[in-house]
Chains A and B, each alone.
Chain A
Amino acid sequence: MAVQALDAARLPVDWAKLVQKLALATALFVVAYGVVPAYASGYLVEAILLPFLALSLAAVGLNLLTGYCGQLSLGSSAFMAVGAFGAYNFNLRVEGLPLAVTMILAGISAAGFGVVFGLPSLRLRGFYLAVSTLAAQFFVQWALTKFGWFSNDNPSGVISAPHLAVAGLSLDSATGRYLLSVTTVMVLTALVWRLVNSATGRNFIAVRDNETAARVIGVPVLRTKLLAFAISSFIIGIAGVLWAFTYLRTVEPAGFNLDRSFQILFIIIIGGLASIRGAFLGAAFIVVLPLFLSRLGAFLFGGLFDSGVLDMSQRIVLGALIIIFLIAEPSGLSALFDRLKRRIGSRSS
């Protein structure tokens, strides 16, 4: 009772803002569950939305660790692999396990891995920590290739997505997989949003901004870092499940290589560190960039612009953009977006 009264006193309700937020949320739901399933083409869903959703979720996870808690990691793709192969094995070896449980167990496996490979963070910082997370990257890829058990003795270590169903409803179609993906991403993002705005999220930021001061005022620094690794890896692991089961459908360990880890790191740098929205903006950018480049290349150079050139030009553009962002806008697309919004807002009023 007293708590409620206090809340009310502290937060004068801003109705205009509330209505705006509600409208935004409604629009999001209508688009996600109405417009996209009804009108989006198979190509849009399969080639753009599914990778976008999986990468966004992975970026949200990494942003928690790197953006909010300040622990640089190059092992994201390893945690995705643990999630994907974990889900595959839970599904394969436990009869009739519901999909949601499979995904949660996969996330927990990835979280366990994250904690183990997060242990060096208790002694190492910055680039030294990043290098130590490379160990996770190489170890996981090695273990998944070396031990056939993980891929059910497939000779090349490839796993294929199982039949996907929730409560008897098949989700194997492109739309079904999209719905699974978008729901998972929305639920987990909402939870992360709650987390970063709670006292735990502020502990993450405290550890990032000044570890010594955090320790002296009583933030349990070691526990906070490991918690960041655990939750981040949990989310990245589930992103790995989405990547393997809804987008690619068949993956091999080599699909989760260092390039993927870097890709996710670039997403949060371009999108904006310590920003959930940034993870989505960055992922959209990374997914759309190669498509855009190939269209542009084909338009300008015709047949000369083959896939090899595309790959090269993509790397060059991405590299240049990261340098530009780090120098000119370290807060990423998210900050650009805010500035744009403010400019439009000031013009209309």
Chain B
Amino acid sequence: MIGASLGAAAYERASEISAILAVANPVGDRRLARLSSRPDVVLALSGIGISFGGVKALSDVDLEVEVGEIRAVIGPNGAGKSSLINIISGLYHADRGRIAIGGQSFSRVPASRLARLGVARTFQNLALFGGLSVRNNIACGRVHTRRASFVEHIAGLPRARSEDAGIAEKTDQIVAFLHLESVADRLVATLPYGLQKRVELARALVAEPKLLLLDEPMAGMTATEKAEMAGFVRAARDRHGVTIILIEHDIGVVMGLSDRVAVLDYGRKIADGTPAEVRADPAVIRAYIGTAEGENGEDIR
């Protein structure tokens, strides 16, 4: 209740700010302000550009993501997909352009406030806490909701206990949702790769984000595991109503899963539309046939 009214207040304030920005800044920002004030747009990027040591990883990329859709971003190796997700989550700072998340507009997204902005993500190369059990890894995903201090935790005061209980309940729900019961108390580092990927998805989902960024969630998986993961991603959207941005290298995986697909090549967006539209786009076909498609590997840096 309080959270909702606070969110609304923040939303209003952000809309005001972006309105002011729209007056002070050129066309792109005005467009962003219009987009970010639309309640059905969860995320809007406008004119994003970033270079690493003179190499342009992304230039002038626009993207908007609507509530409840699964939005895929695909492209060959080195197309800039991971840079894009890292900019949205604040790990990289774009040289140009703005990012609007849920009505708030940023030139640099503050990574430390990301969870409170309602954004969760997974990483291309697993980023779990190897020294914690599966359950504790997942519970960490709700750390942004904790208020109790370390003294309250040591003393076991009511606030710390009720936070723990609330988080344990949410964790159990996600553990059941992703069928992780049998491994819940094992150290996460001892699990096979496919399961670790699933734990990462669980840690992101337990935060109950509005927007979920998945960075190659199916990379390195077997065909069965891929199908299973695709099922979980779809279920996460259908049951939890979370909006999803899915970065994938493998064009085949995303076509059946996503509502809209954006295609990056050499840091530029070359196509954007429904899977059918994208598949028929000559620029996409050229980009994919012209490169070594199908190899799994690090795509940017």
Whether the Cβ atoms of A199 and B112 lie closer than 8 Å is: no
From B113, B132, B144, B162, give the contact of A206 (CB < 8 A): B132
**Which one of A190-198, A248-256, A312-320 is at the B interface?**
A190-198
* A93 within 8 Å of B (CB atoms): no
Whether the Cβ atoms of B121 and A216 lie closer than 8 Å is: yes
* B52 within 8 Å of A (CB atoms): no
Give Cα distance in the complex from A198 to B132, angstroms.
12
CB neighbours (8 Å) of A227 from chain B are 150
CB neighbours (8 Å) of A214 from chain B are 129, 140
* A110 within 8 Å of B (CB atoms): no
CB neighbours (8 Å) of A217 from chain B are 115, 120, 140-141, 143-144, 203-204, 207
Whether the Cβ atoms of A199 and B127 lie closer than 8 Å is: no
- The residue of chain B having its C-beta at the shortest distance from the C-beta of A221 within the complex is B112
Give Cα distance in the complex from A215 to B113, angstroms.
9
CB neighbours (8 Å) of A3 from chain B are 161-162, 165
Whether the Cβ atoms of B150 and A210 lie closer than 8 Å is: no
Instruction: Report how many residues on chain B are interfacial, defined by Cβ distance under 8 Å.
Output: 43
Within 73-105 of A, Cβ neighbours of B (below 8 Å) are at none
Whether the Cβ atoms of B129 and A218 lie closer than 8 Å is: no
**Which one of B152-160, B226-234, B239-247 is at the A interface?**
B152-160
Whether the Cβ atoms of B115 and A199 lie closer than 8 Å is: no
CB neighbours (8 Å) of B148 from chain A are 199
* B169 within 8 Å of A (CB atoms): yes
CB neighbours (8 Å) of B161 from chain A are 3
Q: How many contacting A-B pairs (Cβ < 8 A)?
A: 98
Give Cα distance in the complex from A213 to B169, angstroms.
23
CB distance from B86 to the nearest CB of A (A): 10
Q: Which of A199, A210, A219 has the most CB of B within 10 A?
A: A199
* A205 within 8 Å of B (CB atoms): yes
Whether the Cβ atoms of A202 and B165 lie closer than 8 Å is: no
From A213, A216, A231, give the contact of B129 (CB < 8 A): A213
CB distance from A207 to the nearest CB of B (A): 9
- The residue of chain A having its C-beta at the shortest distance from the C-beta of B168 within the complex is A10
Within 203-237 of A, Cβ neighbours of B (below 8 Å) are at 203, 205-206, 208-210, 212-221, 227, 231
Whether the Cβ atoms of A199 and B129 lie closer than 8 Å is: no
Whether the Cβ atoms of B143 and A219 lie closer than 8 Å is: yes
CB neighbours (8 Å) of A216 from chain B are 89-91, 111, 114-115, 120-121
Whether the Cβ atoms of B139 and A202 lie closer than 8 Å is: yes
Give Cα distance in the complex from A199 to B162, angstroms.
12
CB neighbours (8 Å) of A189 from chain B are none
* B131 within 8 Å of A (CB atoms): yes
Whether the Cβ atoms of B128 and A202 lie closer than 8 Å is: no
Q: A210-B127, A213-B127, A217-B120 are in contact. Are A6 and B150 (CB under 8 A)?
A: no
Q: A216-B115, A220-B112 are in contact. Are A202 and B144 (CB under 8 A)?
A: no
Q: What are 8 contact pairs spanning A and B, CB under 8 A?
A: A3-B161, A3-B162, A6-B165, A6-B168, A199-B148, A205-B131, A217-B203, A218-B113
